[in-house]
Amino acid sequence: MAMNCNAKDEVDGGPPCAPGGAAKTRRPDNTAFKQQRLPAWQPILTAGTVLPTFFIVGLIFIPIGIGIFVTSNNIREIEIDYTGTEPSSPCNKCLSLNVTPCFCTINFTLETAFEGNVFMYYGLSNFYQNHRRYVKSRDDSQLNGDSSALLNPSKECEPYRRNEDLPIAPCGAIANSMFNDTLELFLVSNESDPTPTPIVLKKKGIAWWTDKHVKFRNPPGGGTLEERFKGTTKPVNWLKPVYALDLDEDNNGFINEDFIVWMRTAALPTFRKLYRLIERTNDLHPTLPAGQYYLNITYNYPVHSFDGRKRMILSTISWMGGKNPFLGIAYITVGSISFLLGVVLLVINHKYRNSSNTADTMAF
Amino acid sequence: GARLGPQGGCAPPAADNRLKTTKYTLLSFVPKNLFEQFHRLANVYFVLIALLNFAPAVSAFQPGLALAPVLFILAVTALKDLWEDYSRRRSDLAINHRGCLVFSREEKKYVHRFWKEIHVGDFVHLRCNEIIPADILLLSSSDPDGLCHIETANLDGETNLKRRQVVRGFSELVSEFNPLTFTSVIECEKPNNDLSRFRGCIIHSSGQRAGLHKENLLLRGCTIRNTEAVVGIVIYAGHETKALLNNSGPRYKRSQLERQMNCDVLWCVLLLICMSLFSAVGHGLWVRRYQEKKALFDVPESDGSSLSPVTAAVYSFLTMIIVLQVLIPISLYVSIEIVKVCQVYFINQDIDLYDEETDSQLQCRALNITEDLGQIQYIFSDKTGTLTENKMVFRRCTVSGVEYSHDANAQRLARYQEADSEEEEVVPKGGSWSQRGSIGSHQSVRIVHRTQSTKSQRRSGSRAEAKRASMLSRHTAFSSPMEKDITPDPKLLEKVSECDRCLALSRHQEQPLAHLSPELSDVFDFFIALTVCNAVVVTSPDQPRQKVRVRFELKSPVKTIEDFLRRFTPSRLTSVCSSTGGLAASKPSHKSGPSFLSSLSSDSVFLKLEERLSQPTPSIASNGYSSQAESWAPEQKPEPGQERELRYEAESPDEAALVYAARAYSCALVDRLPDQVSVELPHLGRLTFELLHTLGFDSIRKRMSVVIRHPLTDEINVYTKGADSVVMDLLLPCSSEEARGRHQKKIRSKTQSFLNLYAMEGLRTLCIAKRVLSKEEYACWLQGHLEAESSLDNREELLFQSALRLETNLHLLGATGIEDRLQDGVPETISKLRQAGLQIWVLTGDKQETAVNIAHACKLLDHDEEIITLNAESPEACAALLEQCLQYAQSRAPHSTPEKTEGNVSVGLFPLCSASKSPVSGPSLSLVIDGRSLAYALEKNLEDKFLFLAKQCRSVLCCRSTPLQKSMVVKLVRSKLKAMTLAIGDGANDVSMIQVADVGVGISGQEGMQAVMASDFAVPKFRYLERLLIVHGHWCYSRLANMVLYFFYKNTMFVGLLFWFQFYCGFSASAMIDQWYLIFFNLLFSSLPQLVTGVLDKDVSADVLLLEPQLYKSGQKMEEYRPRAFWLNMVDAAFQSLICFFIPYLAYYDSDVDVFTWGTPITAIALLTFLLHLGIETKTWTWLNWMACGFSILLFLVVALIYNSACSTCYPPSNPYWTMQTLLGDPVFYLICLVTPVTALLPRLFFKALQGSLFPTQLQLGRQLAKKCHKSPKTPKDTFAQGHLPREPKTELSRGSTGNPSESPSRDCALHTSPHMQQPPACSPKASGEPSAVDTSMPLRENNLLESPGSSTAGEAVSGECPRDHQRKRLGTSQAVPLSSLFSLPNLSSLGCVSSLSLVSGLGSVLRFSRSSLHVDKRDSEFLSNPPQPEPDLSGLQRQTAEYL
């Protein structure tokens, strides 16, 4: 930091500077700030001063932890792996690629009834949705319905930008790798009745409200969705074009919620994504009563090649979301450790205090 | 050299006087500033990284965004530069538009011009008090003698007037100088920055050449004083002026901490590369694994092909470097500079560093080494003007072998000292006349000068008030009555007046001096020499003199009486003096005044005497004498006010002191012109000496001489005044055969012994000598001298030779002893600095004895210390002597060897241990070395030994050292011991040392500003060094050290989060933290709190630091920021980042969270963790800290909320639309934000608390004590003073022992002492009578030797009966040593290495024993009266802590 002006004043600072400086003394102001005497709290970290902190942390964390743990334990959750790598699995047949489409059915039993709204997830493992190049491979403008971006997607989408000279809508690797298994759930009411009751799976309401209404928009213009997507082609891996994702006009095209959910790239290689909602219909019956269920799978999505796993998860939720035993355990553990350390400090402080007191009395 | 034609202003556009200090123009700003900024490597690095981002294959962020922080930093710096440049431009403009009168050839008169319009060759007309616009050759002055006085305060801060002289050949002009008639050619050297030299010559149209010297040159920036008007020709203008060439701006040094930091930055670079490499390899493997597997998430290249693992790894490596660039803290450098600027601001603002007397505060001239102040290990101090006030007071003199002790004078001085320290009432109450009279009168005299002298006009008003305030507060530093007013020795006074009378009677005879006895003749010559042989400028309030005025008129009686009345109106007197003493104002002149004045002084013996003497004056004077002065002198002389009007301004205070002394003996210097000096004597009247030559003082010759023609004898006399060592060698060799010669020899040896006596009293000695030249000798010398003077090439060398020819065969007249009083608080400061673990070396040009005594006076040397004196005549002797001293020093060392092992353990872990150790570690060594030996010792082959010896000494004193040696010593210590050095000095001779040292401190004192200009810090007084180092140095260091550590921690921890994530994203250099947060996190969110802490945090309060100076050692040992601390910090950062990564990881494992919804809580967690961490590290919480932390969190929230709602399609790829808003509605977010920072910081807090309780550092103890004392009603002073001072010596001892690996082998040589060591007085039998502080310490140490290390012996020490026996035994042995060593002296002298000086000093210190042992006794009694309480305290603490081990 060159402050040459000062130095020059010393040499060349004649009357213009000197009288100004000489008129008043150069005595510095005696203010608390300038003299660094601001009132201050000066904690000293010793066993005695710190141990309350540890106890307080312990006393706060353990109850919170217990609360979270209980909440988390009250959540019902069932997870069904349907990758089909085990030969016994009904979906094992779908591993070979030549069988398309492949249907398989998995039976499972709910030991306890699922109360309240039940969330149906699909889970993928060893799937790196957070890979740098993968995450980048999308065009938000296109997804937002920008007509120019629709026909001329961003370079980030390469190599899934164009297919046979037609722009891909939606472009990019994320869209291209969209999860496309179909999962259906049936309740086997009783052993005698062979026709299972299908469970109503709600497709809407699974994506963020802002995603569905702000971030993702179909291309503007009148006419059908197909016309609005004219001049584009479907992603390479897709079976259907984007405007045929659903029949419901409000859940089709870019604003298809399955698509939106997929486009929100997962943070970690093992993740789940919300697939369907099972809303409770009436207060008298549980949403999913205990019993036997079928899971009908239209097996399209190949994960076996890269050692991935596919799962279907049914879970109730609480105020803090899905089942998560870790946080409760973490709180309890940290709280206990903190409490323990507090005790250690207390002991130390006790001994130390005695000695320092005697020292004090001797000194003063 | 440059040649200046007669055409002057018509010359082709020579350099004009425009000042341009700006660096940039509008056009050149951007490129030039950028170019300068890219000199900093860090900037280049960051720009390169940002540019790397533009390559699509490796880009991690949006390229524009990545540039943002770099651009921000560059822009901030550029703005700062721009602002500075603008303010420079404004001040340039102001200076350029100052006006002055320049001769215009067209209009044939002086016209008003701006400074910038002045060109080389212009004729400039300047009036009194005008500032000189350029370097101007003085051609004409309104002064009758062609003189001009300038004040150079703007240039070098020296406030005394300097005399300048009209160029030879122009001074003789009677009529006013007319530029049109100027036809000479001026040749001068090229512009250079040497203020003290100017060479050139002027060739008149007649072809005659005349030399030009610096006496002819008026320098830019100086002010014309005391002269009505001058005319000169511009020689150098604008940037070629010496003033501007000297202006190199502030200095840039790299502090030690910064060097260490840069080293750690390199570690960070290495870490960064390692992390990136690891990632790259990981990514390569990952790619190879998934490449063939047709993974859905694998994105091929745009052409559909996939990258080979190796290429992918290379790309990944580069991307990782971009992503992890945060590890190299981009904002660190900027933050450090901000913090340093604030620190400098606070140091400048410290009111305790403000000196009221001089109205100056501490100046920080170097902006970036504040933290070095906290790590100083060695202080090299000048003596004169640094430790002492450089206010010279005449104390005593010896003339012709007779000593005049000036007892009355000594008493008077003692009273001044009392008046200094005691209450103000002393002045009116004081019984004796002399005190009342002197103080009273001089205050009034002072006021007269202050209001009258033109010099003080500029600082009238509050400045004068400050002066008065300082006077009232009994600081005598600036007031000079003490110097001016000397009480003469009656015996000498009688002799002087006898001379005077005799001469007055015999003046008409052929050989007036021959009638005097040799002694009286010497006395007379002595005083003439005192008066004449100097460069004192006599000024009087009636300045400036004008050519038109006749000299006699000026001094008409009426006028002076009027003056007298005007000046001594009662109101003024009472207002200042508030005592009747003011009426005696005219007394100290010792002139017979009006009767009402003399009646007051009836009790004064010498005044009566003087009155009596002065009676016959008119009659003698009226005899008439054929000198110019004769006609008016008698009338003028008896005026009472006359003498007071004279004011002596000398370049060195010694000269003034001598002139004032001579005046006290009625031998007053009344006028000094370039060619004559007038001296006034009571009987003889005014004697005018024709001044033939003045050979000025220089530090090589160490003497000055004048050549005069004696008006009484008409002989040509040379009077020489100089350092005794030099002058004694130049005396006329006297044969011992004849009686006169023997007498002379006797006189010399007597004088020499008196000189030694003076030196032992700490007086500065000067020898006065005389030489009578025959006309032939003089003519012969003159010829050579004139040649030398006119030569252009090696004028200095020739003049030096010429001076040597003149100053030989001198006749010794006498010697003077001048006291240089210690500055206020020097002993206290030195002892504090000592306790702070600083080694203080004094490097002085003074005599050894003087230096040793001053060292004793300022407690640098203790009387119970052993002094090793090194005086060697030859390199071999020096080597032998060094060897001996080393052996002796080592023989003492084994005492500390056993402690060494213990010391390592205890001091390292909990230094408190040492507190229970002996309060005094026995007598310590001090080294005194003289200049010649120093020269030998500094040679390559001996320097290691010298240094090794010096290291074991508590203090080192180098006497008679030249400026070069001073700097060599500093350089040696700096380079060999790798120690941090500080040099402090006030004079030009200290400049080299100041520049060499790590930190240079200048004292803005008496000897001008050269030292200040070269320094990094300028303090008004030595004592301010204590606060500067111990308080501010410590704070600056600790603040900066903690901040740097925090910076490294912060960046490592943040980067750690990203690195752990790589394990879960296929090492693809993906980041879960949004790029905006990533880039601006350091810059915006987390920067303010650490800046506030870095600027304001105080680990220990100033009071405690001052009371416990040993706390300073933490900085010396770099306790706060050392490699261990750095790596511990890094490990903690890694741990914290693990916690902060894996808690969110596990909390969100297998959930539907997306990358950035997961990354944002992590960012928030990181921020909270940083703030909490900072909270743990912050020792002082002011509202600013709270505000800053609150602001950081708030800023993060606000920015996140705005950013997350601003745009739904921007910022690919993160697109965090509505993320923060969603998170704020998610309870898990809060739960994570609560548990993670707490978990991350629990260990740190726990270990901090443990360490604070079990192994507290000195600093922590200091804080605890401060708090305790704050609570308890006890005054902290007692507690600290008693409780913790004893801790210090031991630690020093153990440190000394650790640094000394070869001690134990030399244990056998324990009794092999050298003759030059004196045993400490503590061992004298007297001291053994009762237990003294020193004595008890010895058994204590022996106990330590016997018992197992680690166990505390404090308990026994306090109960202390049994150690007495030990002590007796020890005393017996130790007593034997010095005796034997003293007797072995003759044997050793055969080595030829024992000079007489060391013998003398040896005897001196032997003599001193008795005195100092008395001291010891006194101290003991004090010591016993309040029993040593603190020891149990500390030992108790230590026992406790030991238990926990």
Residue B824 annotated as lining a ligand binding site: no
Q: Is A324 helix (H, G, I), strand (E, B) or coil?
A: coil
Q: Cα separation of B1320 and A295, whole Å? A: 101
Cα separation, B233 vs B186, whole angstroms: 10
Answer whether A331 touches B (CB < 8 Å).
yes
Per-residue burial over A142-153, b if 16 or more Cβ lie within 10 Å, else e, is bbbbbeebbebb
Is B654 marked within a binding site?
Answer: no
**Rounded distance between C-alpha atoms, residue A314 and residue A122, angstroms:** 9
Determine the Cα–Cα distance for residues A274 and A258; give it in Å rounded to an integer: 8
Distance CA B363, CA B1015 (A): 10
Interval B623-632: pLDDT, tens:
333 333 333 3
- Among B1253, B1270, B1426, the strongest candidate for a mutation testing the A interface, having the largest count of A CBs within 10 A, is B1253
pLDDT beyond 50 at A305: yes
B1183 interface with A at CB cutoff 8 Å = yes
Are the C-beta atoms of B633 and B620 separated by less than 8 Å?
Answer: no
Partners of B464 on chain A (C-beta within 8 Å) are: none
* Residue B757: φ, ψ to 5°: -65, -45
CA torsion sign, B928 to B931 to B932 to B934? positive
Q: Three-state DSSP class for B298?
A: coil
Is residue B684 pLDDT above 60, yes or no? yes
User: Which B residues in the span 962-1001 are in contact with A, Cβ-Cβ below 8 Å?
Assistant: none
Q: With contacts defined as CB-CB under 8 Å, which chain B residues touch A337?
A: 1242
User: B155–A11: do the CB atoms touch at under 8 Å?
Assistant: yes
Establish whether B990 is an annotated binding residue. Answer: yes
Q: Are B1070 and A135 in contact (CB under 8 A)?
A: yes
* Cβ–Cβ gap A330/B1429 under 8 Å: no
Look at residues B166, B768, B293 and name the one whose alpha carbon lies nearest to residue A308: B293
| Digit-coded pLDDT (tens) for B188-198 | 888 887 777 78
pLDDT, one tens digit per residue, over B529-586 is: 888 888 777 766 544 443 333 333 333 333 333 433 343 333 333 333 333 333 333 3
Chains A and B form CB pairs within 8 A to the count of: 390
Residue B906's Cβ-side half-sphere holds a number of Cα atoms within 13 Å equal to 27
**Could you give the CA distance from residue B1070 to residue B316 in angstroms, rounded to a whole number?**
10
| Whole-angstrom distance, CA of residue A39 vs CA of residue A27 | 23
- Report CB contact under 8 Å: B221, A12: yes
What local confidence, expressed as pLDDT, does residue B1430 receive? 41
Instruction: Judge whether B20 is annotated as a binding position.
Output: no
Please state the rounded mean pLDDT for residues B163-186: 75
Q: Among candidates B163, B199, B219, which has minimal Cα distance to B789?
A: B199
> Whole-angstrom distance between the N-terminal and C-terminal Cα of chain A?
50
pLDDT digits over B952-979, tens only? 888 888 888 888 888 888 988 988 888 8
Question: Could you give the CA distance from residue B492 to residue B486 in angstroms, rounded to a whole number?
Answer: 13
Instruction: Say which residues have a Cβ less than 8 Å from residue B1035's Cβ, sequence separation at least 6.
Output: B343, B374, B1098, B1099
Mean pLDDT of chain B, nearest integer: 72
Residues with Cβ < 8 Å from B317, sequence gap 6 or more? Answer: B276, B277, B279, B280
What tokens appear for B878 in the block? 């020096």
Find the farthest-apart pair of alpha carbons in chain B and give their distance in angstroms, rounded. 130
Q: Is B168 annotated as a binding residue?
A: no
Query: Cβ–Cβ of B1250/A348 closer than 8 Å?
Result: yes
DSSP B1070: -
B1443 contacts in A (CB within 8 Å)? 351
Residues 6 or more apart whose CB falls under 8 angstroms from that of B935 comprise B965
d(CA A167, CA A164): 8
Q: What is the pLDDT of residue A46?
A: 85
Report CB contact under 8 Å: A16, B94: yes
Q: B290 vs A306: CB contact, 8 Å cut-off? A: yes
* Whether B1274 and A364 lie within 8 Å, measured CB to CB: yes
- The amino acid present at B1134, given as its one-letter code, is A
Q: Does B346 touch chain A (CB under 8 A)?
A: yes
Q: What order of strands is seen across the sheet that includes strand A182-188?
A: A102-110, A291-299, A182-188, A197-198
Residue B790 has pLDDT above 50, yes or no: yes
Helix, strand or coil for residue B203? strand
Question: What backbone phi and psi angles, to 5 degrees, belong to A288?
Answer: -125, 100
Q: Is there a binding annotation on residue B384? A: yes
DSSP A235-294: -TT-SS-GGGS-SSGGGSGGG-HHHHHHHS-BSSSSEEEEEEEE----SSS-SB-SEEEE
* pLDDT score, position B541: 52
Whether B607 shows a pLDDT value over 60: the answer reads: no
Q: Residue B115 corresponds to which amino acid?
A: W
Exposure letters B207-220 (e unless 16+ CB within 10 A, then b): eebbbbbbbbbbbb
- What's chain A's average pLDDT? 84
The whole-number pLDDT of residue B940 equals 85
pLDDT, position B250: 52
DSSP string, B515-561: GS-HHHHHHHHHHHHHHHSS-PEEE-TTPPB-SSS-HHHHT-HHHHH
Q: Per-residue DSSP letters for B57-112?
A: TT--S-HHHHHHHHHHHHHHHHHHHHHHHHHHHHHHHHHHT-EEEEEETTTTEEEE
**How many angstroms separate the Cα of B265 from the Cα of each of B271, B481, B817, B1049, B1327?**
10, 59, 58, 12, 57
Q: Specify the pLDDT at position B169.
A: 72
Contact B221 A14 (CB under 8 A): yes
Neighbours of B178 (CB within 10 A): 13
| More confident position, B514 or B925 | B925
Q: Which 8-state DSSP code applies to residue B115? A: G
Distance, CA of B1093 to chain centre: 29
Pairwise CB contact (< 8 Å): A128 & B297? yes
Separation CA B1026–CA B1039 (nearest Å): 19
Question: CB-CB: which of A11, A24, A267 is closest to B244?
Answer: A11
pLDDT band at B645 (very low <50, low <70, confident <90, very high): low
Task: Tell which A residues from 115 to 154 touch B, by Cβ distance under 8 Å.
Answer: 121, 123, 127-141, 143-144, 146, 154
Interface residue of B296, B342, B359 to substitute, partner A, most A CBs within 10 Å:
B296
The reported pLDDT for the residue numbered B157 is 54
Closest residue, chain A, to B1255 (C-alpha): A46
Q: Which of A133, A329, A345 is most worth mutating to test chain B (most B CB atoms within 10 A of its CB)? A: A133
Residues of chain B neighbouring A147 (CB-CB closer than 8 A): none
Distance CA B1134, CA B1284 (A): 39
Using the Cβ of B941 and the Cβ atoms of chain A, whether some distance falls under 8 Å is answered with: no
With CA atoms as reference, report the closest residue to B830 among B688, B948, B926, B756.
Answer: B926
Residue B1381: the pLDDT is: 39
Alpha-carbon span B441 to B455, nearest angstrom: 21
Is pLDDT above 60 for B16? yes
Q: With beta carbons under 8 A apart, name residues in chain A contacting B1058.
A: none
Residue A290 Cα to chain centre, angstroms: 30
Under DSSP, is residue B395 helix (H, G, I), strand (E, B) or coil? strand
Q: In what order do the strands lie in the sheet with B147-151?
A: B161-165, B147-151, B223-225
Which amino acid is residue B756, in one-letter code?
Answer: N
A42 touches B: beta carbon within 8 Å: yes
Joined together, the tokens standing for residue B254 give: 């790299």
Interface touch A28/B341, C-beta < 8 Å: no
Q: Rounded mean pLDDT of B94-110?
A: 85
Mean pLDDT to the nearest integer, B35-42: 79
At residue B849's C-alpha, the angle toward residues B847 and B854, to 5°, is 95
Tell me if chain A has a CB within 8 Å of the CB of B1432. yes
- Using CB atoms, pick whichever of B1252, B1274, B1433 lies closest to residue A44: B1252
In terms of pLDDT, which residue wins out, B80 or B1193?
A: B1193
Q: Tell me, rounded to whole angstroms, the distance of Cα B272 from its chain centroid.
A: 43
CA distance B127 to B110: 12
Any chain A CB within 8 A of the CB of B1042?
Answer: no
Residue B1 has pLDDT above 80, yes or no: no
Token pair 């334990």 is found at A73
Q: Is B319 annotated as a binding residue?
A: no
Please list the active-site residues of B.
382
> CB distance B1212–A159 less than 8 Å?
no
> Nearest-CA residue of chain A relative to B1158?
A267
Q: Is B821 annotated as a binding residue?
A: no
Question: Residue B273 has what pLDDT?
Answer: 94
CB contact B57 to A (< 8 Å) = no
Packed helices B897-909 and B1333-1346: angle between N→C axes, nearest 10 degrees:
90
B764 is in an annotated binding site: yes
From B896's Cα to the closest Cα of chain A, the distance in A is 28
Strands B981-985 and B378-381: parallel
Alpha helices in B615-737 (DSSP H): 617-621, 633-636, 640-645, 653-664, 724-729
Q: How far apart are CA B284 and CA B278, in angstroms?
A: 10
Residue B1404 scores a pLDDT above 50: no
**Can you count the helices (H) and strands (E) in chain A?**
11, 10
A36 with B1149: Cβ contact below 8 A: no
Show residues of chain B in contact with A128, CB under 8 Å. 295, 297, 1065-1066, 1068
Contact B1020, B1004 (CB under 8 A): yes
CB-closest option in B293, B1151, B1159 to A272: B1151
pLDDT of B220 reads 84
Whether B1263 and A42 lie within 8 Å, measured CB to CB: yes
**Strand B388-399, strand B161-165: pairing:** unpaired
- Rounded CA-CA distance B364/B341 in Å is 10
Q: Tens of pLDDT along B709-767?
A: 888 777 888 888 888 778 888 888 777 677 778 888 888 888 888 888 887 777 778 88
Per-residue pLDDT band at A311 (split at 50, 70, 90): very high
Using a CB–CB cutoff of 8 Å, tell me whether B1440 touches chain A. Answer: yes
pLDDT at B304: 73
**Closest residue in chain A to residue B155, using alpha carbons only:** A11
Q: B721 labelled as ligand-binding?
A: yes
Count the residues in chain A: 364
**B542 Cα to chain A: minimum distance (Å):** 24
Nearest to B243 among A12, A22, A146 (CB): A12
Picking from B131, B349, B1149, the nearest residue to A268 by CB comes out as B1149
- Residue numbers in A near B1011 (CB within 8 A): none
Q: Residue B391 — φ and ψ, nearest 5°? A: -105, 110
